[in-house]
Structure 1
Amino acid sequence: MEFAEVVRRRRMVRDYDPDRPVPPEVRERLLEHAVRAPSAGFSQGWAFLVLESAGERERFWAATTDGGTPDGWLTRMRRAPLLVVPLSHKAAYLDRYAEADKGWTDRDESRWPVPYWDVDTGMAALLMLLTAVDEGLAGCFFGVPPERVPALRAAFGIPEDHRPIGCVSVGYAGAEDRRSPSLRRGRRPVEEVVHRGSW
């Protein structure tokens, strides 16, 4: 598929065919492409928790939801056969920029205008979403509620120095997939968001 077509087709899909697993070679391409994301200082401060078995996915949903009766969104999302939790690792960036070639002699976090460890990990997640489209699959990036992060850490042994920035669900689109009502707002035109030369 042409790159422009991949970008046009990329959307967040919230329902999956539970009977069609993600082929292993496609899963590996998703991950191989994710690590091609840019990272400040080539720090590569990310990790990816891959959950494929029914038991792993059930543990994820048990840890990240309140355990009540699932609503329609959750019912459809739970059908995804592959979940990837991208994790950012701030220490990798602080350590990298304390190395001689970067010129800083400390690990002072205040030098960072934004948390590039999260930004770069988000870019890796986007590469997974684009790869899914290119492979004929669907995907969605969604957040983990902050109050559920400790349970997620406990369920999978995630180290404290790695922060889950969300989750990427991947699979073949299900029969109940429907467009988000939010899309009625329409996409903002380029002319509205681009400021050339000055604001």
Structure 2
Amino acid sequence: MEFADLVRRRRMIRNYDERPVDPAAVDRMLENALHAPSAGFSQGWAFLRLDTADDVARFWAASTPPGQGVDAWSEGLRRAPVVIVPMSSKQAYLDRYAEPDKGWTDRDEKRWPAPYWDIDTGMASLLILLTVVDEDLGACFFGIPPERVPAFREAFGVPATFDPIGAITVGHRAPDRRSPSLKRGRRGLDDVVHRGHWGGPLDHQRSRGS
């Protein structure tokens, strides 16, 4: 598949059938994730691979608020036979940048203009999502409710030094209703690209259609 086609086909899939996913395909997703960029080559990420029915059920039990059960939002997602939970380690980055070639021995978080541990893990997650498309499968990235993170940690023995940035369901696509959010439409280049200067003459020319 051409890369441009792969990018255009990527979308969040919220409904799956119950066919199993080839474990080799999941291997490729995770192998590709390791090629994401990371500040200082810190590679402070980890991926929890849940690909048995018991493990997937435990994930949903741990990440669902008590009493909520299966709702319209999660019903289709729960049919996915694979869940991958990408996690970031801030400590790995603070430790890496305290090494002699970086020299930030105070480990002060204020030195960081943005939480690169989360950003890098997010980029690794995108490589998983793109690999999913290349495998002719579907995936959805979504968040774990913050109040459910302790239960998730306990259920899977996740150490305190790693934080889940979300979860990715993977499976064979089934007919899916379009998300209401898509009614917003995709923003165009002229809406998001500012060349040379934000709000400069070029932007004004574009807004007038010249």
* TM-score class, shorter: over 0.9
Q: 1:85-122 deviations in whole A, cap 9, x for unaligned?
A: 00101111001111111132321111011110000001
State the SS of the aligned residue for 2:87.
strand
Is 2:37 the counterpart of 1:38? yes
Is 2:135 the counterpart of 1:159? no
Cα distance in 2 for partners of 1:186, 1:39 equals 31
Write out aligned runs for 1:77-88 (5 A). 77-88=77-88
The answer for unaligned runs of 5 or more in structure 1 is none
Measure how far apart 1:69 and its partner are.
3.5
State the SS of the aligned residue for 2:75.
helix
The equivalent of 1:47 in structure 2 is 46
Identity level (%): 65
Is 2:7 the counterpart of 1:3? no
Aligned residues between the structures: 197
Cα distance in 2 for partners of 1:52, 1:69 equals 21
The answer for unaligned runs of 5 or more in structure 2 is 199-210
Q: 1:35-59 deviations in whole A, cap 9, x for unaligned?
A: 1100000000000000011110111
Larger Rg: 2
Cα distance in 2 for partners of 1:178, 1:136 equals 19
Q: Which amino acid aligns with 2:132?
A: A
Measure how far apart 1:184 and its partner are.
1.0
Larger displacement relative to structure 2 (137-146 or 104-113): 104-113
Cα distance in 2 for partners of 1:92, 1:145 equals 24
Q: Which amino acid aligns with 1:192?
A: D
Cα distance in 1 for partners of 2:36, 2:177 equals 30
Larger displacement relative to structure 2 (42-51 or 65-74): 65-74
Cα distance in 2 for partners of 1:38, 1:51 equals 24
Structure 1 residue runs of 4 or more that deviate by more than 3 Å after TM superposition: none
Write out aligned runs for 1:167-178 (5 A). 167-175=167-175, 177-178=176-177
The equivalent of 2:22 in structure 1 is 23
TM-score, length of structure 2 as denominator length: 0.92
Write out aligned runs for 1:98-117 (5 A). 98-117=98-117
Cα distance in 1 for partners of 2:69, 2:171 equals 23
Measure how far apart 1:68 and its partner are.
2.6
The equivalent of 1:119 in structure 2 is 119
Is 2:46 the counterpart of 1:58? no
Q: 1:120-162 deviations in whole A, cap 9, x for unaligned?
A: 0011111000000011001110000000000000100100110
Cα distance in 1 for partners of 2:68, 2:32 equals 36
Q: Which amino acid aligns with 1:9?
A: R
